[in-house]
Structure 1
Amino acid sequence: MTTTPLRERPRGAARRPPARRRRPVVRLVAGTGAVWVLVALASVAWWPVHRDGAMVVAGTTAVVVGTLVAVLGLVLRLPAAAVAVLTVVGFVVTGVPAAVPDRADGVLPTGPGVVDLLAGVALGWRQLVTVSLPVGSYEALLVPYFVTALLATVVGVTVATRASRPEAAGLAPLVVFAAGVAVGPTRLATSVALAVALVGAALAWALSVRHVRRATTVAETVGQPVPVLRAVVRPALVGTATIAAAALVATGLGLLVPPSAGRTVARTDVVRPFDPRDHVSPLSGFRAYQEDDQVDVPQLTVTGLPRGGFVRIATLDTYDGVVYRVGGPDGATASGTFERVPTSVDVSGVRGTRVRVGVTVDGYRDVWLPTVGDLETVTFQGRTADRDRTGFFYDRATSTGALVGGVSAGTRYTLSAVLPAQPTERQLTAARPGTVSVPTPRAVPDAVRDAVQAVSEPGASDGARLVAALSALARTGYVSHGVGDDRASRSGHGADRIEELLTGQPVVGDQEQYAVAAALMAQQIGFPARVVMGFTAGGDSGTTPTTGAGGRTTFRGSDVTARIEVDTAEYGWVLLDPNPVVREIPEESDQTPQPVTRPETIVPPPPAEPQVQEQQTPPQADPDAPPARPFWLQLLLAVLPWALGVLGVAALVLLPVVVVLVLKRLRRRRRRRAPAARARVVGAWDEYRDALLDNGHAVAATATRREVAVAAPGDAATGLSALADRAVFGPSDVDDRTADRMWDATDAAVAELRSGRTRRERFRAAVSVRSFRSGRWVR
């Protein structure tokens, strides 16, 4: 009689796949889905780097190809070396159309595209940190993200479906996130919230996998299935809820107390391929444009430039007493940061007029690329377009462009830019100095300070002093380039030449000296200032450049000029012209200063009694400065960030403890307030059984109440088990009085378990989660 059931069981099993056969399919689906979610979250860190739909295509392709390679390795049971070969093949076949779309032939790779793809694996990382963001799909700069996402998918899906510890699959997407942060922008953006979400999702996946593995082991040991809801879902939900709560606290602290400075990433420490300090200042060659062999030579042909427009050659903000040049003295200031521009420059915050200007280079030769206003995009044309595109660098801080290898004849490009709105002279008079940091000039002659003091009225605002200084310079100065029949005028703009300019009679120089003197005077007043060299209509000489049909303007050597930019709090950088108009220079004898007779001033006698002023302004006090903070407020502001940090750490440490205590409290309340008296009696027994588990006593999951009572310490468990069994299996209903008596006895039994224990042991029992893992915490 026993043989028939034994023969029928395999037949029934054949109709339904056994759990062992279904397990790989479930693991494949769950593991693959988890890796996809984690890789997608990690890829968000790369979005500020590219900000282009091509990145979405590359990421999707990498995930699909990586998944196919990992699944093929699982089905065919391929070794790691074979999986690596398949990964390389998939990378080469799909990498060109996905990561180097400009080099692809539709959906097929090309020879040059494969070369760029393989080179991008090794060289793309360095190029990424030397290019201004975003880069879009520029050249092969999508390759680092594509190869990182592909490897993370292959490794993640392989580990999730084949390794003994599938939870380790969450480490590969973390590498994708770390790489995106390393090559990303210096600003914080959304990295805090993204990191918390990614780590939380990885931990939730790890907890789920761990509980599934434990439930599977228990089922194989006891020979019967384990309820998934109790053994897997509930513990995973508890762990995930704790992680989510901690993530909310961490994110809140990150947003409440953000870092005061930009974060350090790869692009902040990398050595730039273009260093402006390696090149001669363009202002040093200013007089060369005025020589007889260059003054009438066409330098640039520009179309689309507004009337009176200014074409910038370079912005110079560092003065060392010898020359004004581009870049900081140690390369650490923002003025020396030149980056490649693969797509566009963000000019959304600039108010002004948008223009589109075409430039054709004629006789101009230098490493500095002439631009207009605040550059947004540049597009090169002609036979050298590819070389010029890869060699173009731009400094956003100074709006200066450079071309590695220099500008040559026939170089053609189109600029999209914004011409910033400029204030009127009246508005400038009321302007205040800005806060932009520029390198402090060195070896400034004393004549600069004397010239500012000579034209400054007592009590005048900084803007009024600036306008007065520039007006005096333009009113008293005369223009001479020192060539041909011009009055002798020494070239250069070192400290001695600026001293000679400001103290000479008459004041003679050209735009090279006047711009430097004006910039130094503006900085003496308090305005951050810099010199701008470029081309303009007539070069401030009163002549007009050649203008053809269609708004085509030809700038010649005589059209070169130099001006200054000052930073104001209200209008940002303002372009100012400090140069005198071209006029006849008088003889030195006509400039002999005549003595000025001043009327005698009657000095009143001193007062009989000294005047006592209760409130005096300190000699060096700034009337516009805010009042000094009291000491207690300074102390509070100094301690507050540290206190918030300590409280945040304490909250993160204590949060799991609070969560466990709250859940236990809710569980007890639900059991004691059950609607039926019989349920309250059973709940009291469950409360005692959980107390045994939390206090470290071994309680088998399949043990009956009597078996638990026999193994429990003391005699209270025997009475509780008997009362609970009688309530469950007895013929009569249980009344509320019996339920209350059961709970009183349970509280006394639990107190007896805690008696004689140390404070540390009682705390460990209170925060223990063993009772949650038993599957009874919801009853």
Structure 2
Amino acid sequence: MSEAPVAAPSPPVDRARRSTRRSDRRDARRLVPFRLAGGTLVVWLLLAVASTSWWPIHRDGAMVTAAATAIVLGTVVALLGAVLRLPTAVVAIATVAAFTVSGVPAAVPSQANGLLPTGRGLVDLFAGVALGWKQLVTISLPVGSYEALLVPYFVTLLVATVTAVSVATRASRQELASIPALVLFAVGIVVGPSRLDTSIVTAVVLVAIALVWALTVRHVRRAVAVATTIGSRVPVARSIVRPALVGTGTIVAAAVVATGLGLVAPPSAERTVARTDVVKPFDPRDHVSPLSGFRSYEEQDTADAPQLRVSGLPEDGFVRIATLDTYDGVVYRVGGSDGGTASGTFERVPTAVDVRGVRGTTVDVGVTVEGYRGVWLPTVGDLERVDFTGAGADETRGAFFYNDSTSTGAVIGGVDEGTSYELTAVLPDQPTERQLASARPGDAAVPTARDVPDAVRDTVESTTASATTPGAKLLAALQALKRNGYVSHGVGDDRTSRSGHGADRIQELLTAPLMIGDQEQYAAAAALMADELGFPARVVMGFTPGGDAGGAAARGASTEKGGTTTFRGSDVTARIEVDTAQWGWVLLNPNPTVREIPNEQQQTPQPVTRPETVVPPPPVDRQDQDQQAPPESDRNTPPVQPLWLQILLAVLPWALGVLGVLAIVLLPFALIVAAKRVRRRRRRNAPTPRGRIVGAWDEYRDALLDRGHEVSGAATRREAVAGAPGAGGTGLAALADRAVFGPNDPDATTADRMWSATEDAIGTLHTGRNRRERFRSAVSLRSLRRPGRVRGGRGQGPSGRGDYSGPRPDERRGRPSEDRGTP
């Protein structure tokens, strides 16, 4: 009597099961398009909201183009991977290929040839992946599409799109796809501006969308699980829609409360982001103060020499060289004592400087450098845009840095003859003298002056006694300098006048019977006096027609036909800027008009209210201002590069581009070989001898697959080697079967012998094959992508695993371990 009819299901039950399986497959086919479309659309929404944190960085339409390109290509790569069930390595390779093909037109448009990349563009593209981040946090914002600074955003968005869409369409927990969008948003905050340009509402909306989606996906997953368990459909409205709406309402309410709190009590201080802590590439403290070389412009060989040619400058315009706000008793310099002040932070200017808050007149000025030398770039007003022209314009542009708080520009390596550029700037509106009398001190932060001589306070007290308001006191102090001072540069037949503006020189200027000096001393003294009155003050050095010498100047700037002004060395001057509560920084001229200096015997000594204070000499490590390098020194001028180095620098970008293309082409093959090596090492280092033996067999079987031999996933080991090329396969199959199903556990010696035989057998597979065929076997993906290569085959390990570290087959059938050898 056979038991088969009893065990077999009845035909109606069998038909019912087949009908249920067909129904499940139809439902699965219907769910896949909905999952692909729904997950992709939600990811797009998340990425679009997250990209808003990058807008303050670029503020340019090129960012929109880069975003659309990255999202579309990333979605195509991810959906192809989901539909074709491609391995992660293949998806990663496709992502790199998409980045290479589209990166230059999308992220480095200035180096693209239409829609095709160029060699220089590819070099900049891949260099931007590694170096663009540092450049991004050391440059003023916004950057637009300057150089390759769109690359960090493009590559981050591309990777985020591929990852998020892949997770949303392939992973068991779709809600994890919101993590790449959150990371994209956070990265934009970190590399963005220190001020709060990204709205709090945007951050709350992004988190709310992610939470709503996670809640909805969770209810869908639970409904599917319930339907599978009970074998019937679950009402969508009751099981998914209603709970999702309730949760969404809760999340929206929490979002409204969080947004309200953020708007009512916003952060009072600037954010700490990457650009606030990064080490800036240009440190003004590394360079000599330009004011210390003031007298060198008045020397006989430079006073008449042309320094700058400027076109478009308004009448009596002022060309700024540098703004100096730090006084240490020896010299006025830029950047504070430790470089941590706002004036010490110089950044690259990619497109333009934000001057929307400056009220004034916009001018376009052209500058050509002739005799002037130095690291400080002459500018006008508050700079908005600069465009370098002529030979070496690209190099000069890359070396240009700007400080917005002091309106001071600098070029690493300095400028030399022939440097030319176009400036667009705003000349701030200035108050009249009557309006200035009512001025109040502003709240700008400048470094505290050190070692200020007592004569500054005494002079302020004696000259401002009759004034009542801070603005009137400031005007009275400056007018006293103009009224009592005489101009002498200490050259030629001029009355002897020491150079420098240290504490001892300012003390001498303010206490001598005759106040004799030049713009260097008067500007320094005026800035210290303004600071004594409570006005934040700084010294500004530059050029102006006549050098603030008045109508008595024998030499000065000449204005040519066409409105071009040539500034000579004698046109150098120094003024001060004071910060007022009403007009911001105001440029003031404290210098006396050039006039004849009387004999000292005819003058009545000026009363001094307090005895002269002996100022101690400066420390040894301070540089004597009289020994500062003159501006015409070429110490900042880079040496001429040898011919071989010029050739190397010209060829290097193309060589790097070719190497980059070769690396991209070979990268997929290297990844495949590396994956196979990792798999081989894992198999050979299995924790048990039995696992190592089975790993050796798996290595041989994968070599057969890569060789082109067809191996069925359900074939036994002996069936797998039937008709296989090479030699030794039959012995390997027998040894592996004996290790798995034999009565005793194999030892380490047997495992070593199995691996040695496996290596010999794999070596015979390449016998008689040429180099191309061996390469194709080495980079073949058949052994990596073959489904069920471990599971489902007869004679495989427990639970379908290849390491065989679980219980033996006879142990799973309930036989005691001590009876394994019993037949």
Coarse TM-score class (shorter-chain normalised)? 0.7 to 0.9
Paired residue for 2:711? none
Say yes or no: does 1:574 pair with 2:599. no
- 2:230 counterpart residue number: 222
Equivalence for 1:555: 567
User: Counterpart amino acid of 2:513?
Assistant: Q
Q: CA deviation at 1:191?
A: 3.8
Q: Which residue of 1 aligns with 2:155?
A: 147
2:598 pairs with 1:586: yes
Alignment of 1:491-502 (within 5 A): 491-502=499-510
Picking from 515, 538, 541, the partner of 1:533 is: 541
Aligned equivalent of 2:117, options 109, 113, 121: 109
Partner of 2:380: 372
Query: Does the Cα contact within 8 Å between 2:549 and 2:592 map onto a contact in 1?
Result: no
CA-CA distance at 1:593 after TM superposition = 3.9
The CA deviation string for residues 659-683 of structure 1, in whole angstroms up to 9 with x for no partner, is: xxxxxxxxxxxxxxxxxxxxxxxxx
Identify the residue that residue 448 of structure 2 maps to in structure 1: 440
| Alignment deviations for residues 78-127 of structure 1 (CA, whole Å, 9 cap, x no partner) | 11111111100000100100000001000111111011000000100010
Question: How far apart in 2 are the matches of 1:421 and 1:167?
Answer: 56
| Contact preservation (8 Å) 2:490, 2:497 | yes
Shift of 1:14: 8.3
CA separation in 2, counterparts of 1:42 and 1:463?
A: 49
Residues 128 and 152 in structure 2, CA contact (< 8 A), matched pair in contact too = yes
* SS of residue paired to 1:335: helix
CA distance in 1, matches of 2:177, 2:598: 84
Q: 1:107 to 1:212 in 2, by over 3 A?
A: same
Report the CA distance shift for 1:594/1:39 in structure 2 as closer, same or farther (over 3 A). Answer: closer
Are 1:239 and 2:271 counterparts? no
Q: Return the alpha-carbon distance in structure 2 between the equivalents of residues 231 and 97 of structure 1.
A: 48
Separation in structure 1 between the aligned mates of residue 148 and residue 124 of structure 2, nearest angstrom: 6
Q: Does the aligned pair in 1 maintain the 2:512–2:606 contact within 8 Å? A: no
Q: d(CA) in 1 for partners of 2:531 and 2:403?
A: 22
Aligned to 1:488: 496
Residue of structure 1 equivalent to 2:316: 308
Matched, 1:510 2:518: yes
1:36 — aligned with what? Answer: 44
In structure 1, what residue type is equivalent to 2:352? S
Cα 1:216/1:536, change in 2 over 3 Å = same
Offset at residue 170 of structure 1 (A): 0.6
Counterpart code for 2:373: R
Query: In the TM superposition, what is the alpha-carbon distance from 1:349 to its structure 2 partner?
Result: 1.1
1:172 paired residue number: 180
Alignment partners' CA distance in 2, 1:566 and 1:7: 94
- Partners of 1:9 and 1:527 in 2: how far apart? 91
- Match of residue 404, structure 2, among 396, 402, 425: 396
**How many Å apart are 1:11 and its aligned residue?**
9.4
Q: Which residue of 1 aligns with 2:390?
A: 382
Question: Counterparts in 2 of 1:50-129, with a 5 A limit?
Answer: 50-129=58-137
Q: Deviations over 1:285-321 (max 9, x none)?
A: 0000000111111000000000100000000000000
Look up the match of 2:738.
none
Could you tell me how far 1:193 is from its partner in structure 2?
A: 1.5
Superposed counterparts of 1:586-605, under 5 Å? 586-593=598-605
Distance 1:23 1:432 in 2: 71
Q: How does 1:257-656 map to 2 (within 5 A)?
A: 257-458=265-466, 460-542=468-550, 543=553, 544-593=556-605
Q: Offset at 1:211?
A: 0.7
Gapped regions of structure 1 (runs ≥ 5): 597-779
- Corresponding residue number in structure 2 for 1:738: none
Letter in structure 1 aligned against 2:470: D
Q: Distance in 2 between matches of 1:251 and 1:48?
A: 20
Q: CA deviation at 1:346?
A: 1.0
Q: Secondary structure at the match of 1:355?
A: strand
Query: Residue 300 of structure 2: SS of its match in structure 1?
Result: coil
Per-residue Cα deviation, 1:559-610 (whole angstroms, up to 9, x for no partner): 00000001111111110000000011011101124999xxxxxxxxxxxxxx
SS in structure 1 of the partner of residue 197 of structure 2: coil
Q: Deviations over 1:625-681 (max 9, x none)?
A: xxxxxxxxxxxxxxxxxxxxxxxxxxxxxxxxxxxxxxxxxxxxxxxxxxxxxxxxx
TM-score after normalising by structure 2: 0.71
What is the alpha-carbon root mean square deviation over aligned residues? 1.9
Q: Which residue of 249, 258, 261 corresponds with 2:257? A: 249
**The residue matched to 1:379 in structure 2 has which SS?**
strand
- Look up the SS of the partner of 1:372 in the other structure: coil
Q: How many residues align?
A: 595
What amino acid is the match of 2:560?
G
The aligned residue for residue 615 of structure 1 is: none
* Secondary structure at the counterpart of residue 585 of structure 1: coil
Letter in 2 for 1:312: R
Cα deviation for residue 13 of structure 1 reads 10
* Distance in 2, Cα, partners of 1:13 & 1:444: 92
1:198 to 202, 206, 210: 206
Alpha-carbon distance between aligned partners in 2 of 1:256 and 1:503, rounded to the nearest angstrom: 56
The one-letter amino acid paired with 2:421 is Y
Which residue in the other structure is 1:613 paired with? Answer: none
Q: Deviations over 1:720-760 (max 9, x none)?
A: xxxxxxxxxxxxxxxxxxxxxxxxxxxxxxxxxxxxxxxxx
> 2 CA distance for matches of 1:398 and 1:119?
32
Q: Which amino acid aligns with 2:591?
A: N
Which residue of 2 is the match for residue 603 of structure 1? none
Task: Please give the alpha-carbon distance, in whole angstroms, between the structure 2 residues aligned to 1:331 and 1:404.
Answer: 17
Alpha-carbon spacing, 1:595–1:17, altered in 2? closer, same or farther (3 Å): closer
Corresponding residue for residue 622 of structure 2:
none
1:772 is aligned to: none
Tell whether the 8 Å contact from 2:467 to 2:473 is kept in structure 1 after alignment: no
2:93 partner amino acid: V
| Amino acid in structure 2 at the alignment position of 1:186 | S
1:403/1:555 CA distance change after superposition, 3 Å: same
User: Residue 228 and residue 127 in structure 1: after superposition, are their counterparts in 2 closer, same or farther (change >3 A)?
Assistant: same
Distance in 2 between residues matched to 1:116 and 1:241, nearest whole Å: 48
Partner-residue secondary structure (3-state), 2:301:
coil
Q: Which moved more, 1:93-102 or 1:225-234?
A: 225-234
Distance 2:85 2:605 in 1: 100
1:211 aligned partner, one-letter code: H
How far apart, CA to CA, are the structure 2 residues paired with 1:270 and 1:8? 69
Q: C-alpha deviations, 1:375-432, integer Å up to 9, x for none?
A: 0000000111101111111101000000011011100100000101111111111111
Q: CA shift at 1:553, angstroms?
A: 0.4
Change (3 A) 1:489 1:593: closer
CA distance in 1, matches of 2:17, 2:215: 35
Seen in structure 2, the aligned counterparts of structure 1 residues 595 and 517 have a Cα distance that, compared at 3 Å, is closer
2:105–2:116: 8 Å Cα contact kept in structure 1? yes
Cα distance, 1:520 vs structure 2: 0.3
Q: 1:77 to 1:317 in 2, by over 3 A?
A: same
Does the C-alpha gap of structure 1 residues 356 and 461 become closer, same or farther in structure 2, counting only changes over 3 Å? Answer: same
Q: 2:189 is matched with which residue? A: 181
1:418 match: secondary structure: strand
Letter in 2 for 1:546: S
The one-letter amino acid of 1:347's match is: V
CA distance in 1, matches of 2:82, 2:526: 74
Separation (CA, whole Å) in 2 of partners of 1:53 and 1:227:
47
The answer on whether the counterparts of 2:75 and 2:161 sit within 8 Å (CA) in structure 1 is yes
What letter is aligned with 2:179? Answer: L
